[in-house]
């Protein structure tokens, strides 16, 4: 079975999150040495939030080639990702959380929803475990299934492009669970990752059709 790679540029929160989920992740690769690795060995490559954007751009050709070769690339906290991903067209939308203190309200409300038709991720991660805050969104795409929309369905916080050129797949999200989990802040992010990463293996039949299945 092919492995799952996890990139880092050395941030403590990224390393802590990798250690938390080392049972589901295989190899942690430092971004500075990425060119020395054959990504084709991996069933999936995870780019966690909090990455060095300039560093990712320098490795754009390698990462896009991985998807074109049939790989599954998962990108979180996707700031400026539209500037270097070219396997699909990503249209950023300026959108931040409306009420940053929503969780302190007597009747807390966050302006997001899991749209229909439901993405398989919604079956394993409830809306409450996708709810903290966000920075930016993406225009909806007819080529992608959205797992999390703004409440008015004007944009998505998580797009899943399947069946791309060469059989590749790209999941891209503006959510930032790894930084918060690693800093032990925002419990929903830890719950999100606890559900997401077990489904990146083939060990759970219930997750076989999930977005992170290998």
Helix (H) or strand (E) holding 138: strand 135-138
Helix (H) or strand (E) holding 19: helix 12-20
Classify residue 77 as left (phi > 0), alpha (psi -120 to 50) or beta: left
One-letter-per-residue 3-state SS of 164-198: CHHHCEEEEECCCHHHHHHCCCCHHHHHHHHHHHH
CB atoms within 10 A of CB 173: 24
User: 116: which strand partners?
Assistant: none
Tell me: the pLDDT tens digits for 132-147? Answer: 999 899 999 999 999 9
- Quick: pLDDT tens for 23-59: 999 999 999 999 999 999 999 999 999 999 999 999 9
Where residue 79 falls among pLDDT bands split at 50, 70, 90? Answer: confident
Q: Which CATH class is domain 3-207?
A: alpha beta
Per domain, the residue ranges of the chain are: 3-207
**What's the pLDDT tens digit per position in 114-132?**
999 999 999 999 999 999 9
> What is the pLDDT at residue 151?
96
Hey, what are 153's tokens?
A: 């369905």
Q: Answer whether residue 206 shows pLDDT above 50.
A: no
Q: Where do we find the tokens 């049939």?
A: 70
pLDDT band of residue 199 (cuts 50, 70, 90) is low
């Amino acid at each position: 079975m092919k492995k799952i790679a996890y990139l880092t540029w050395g941030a403590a929160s990224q390393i802590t999150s990798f250690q938390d989920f080392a049972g589901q992740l295989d190899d942690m690769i430092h971004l500075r040495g990425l060119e020395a690795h054959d990504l084709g060995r991996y069933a999936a490559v995870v780019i966690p939030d909090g990455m060095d954007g300039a560093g990712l751009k320098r490795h754009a050709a390698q990462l896009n080639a991985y998807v074109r070769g049939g790989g599954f690339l998962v990108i979180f906290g996707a700031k400026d990702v539209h500037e270097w991903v070219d396997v699909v067209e990503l249209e950023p939308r300026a959108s931040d959380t409306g009420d940053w203190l929503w969780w302190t309200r007597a009747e807390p409300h966050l302006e997001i929803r899991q749209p229909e038709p439901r993405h398989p991720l919604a079956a394993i991660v409830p809306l409450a475990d996708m709810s903290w805050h966000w920075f930016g969104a993406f225009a909806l795409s007819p080529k992608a299934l959205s797992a999390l929309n703004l409440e008015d369905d004007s944009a998505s916080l998580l797009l899943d492009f399947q069946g791309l050129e060469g059989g590749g797949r790209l999941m891209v999200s503006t959510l930032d669970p790894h930084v918060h989990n690693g800093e032990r802040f925002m419990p929903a992010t830890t719950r999100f990752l606890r559900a997401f990463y077990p489904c990146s293996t083939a060990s759970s039949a219930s997750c076989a059709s999930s977005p992170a299945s290998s």
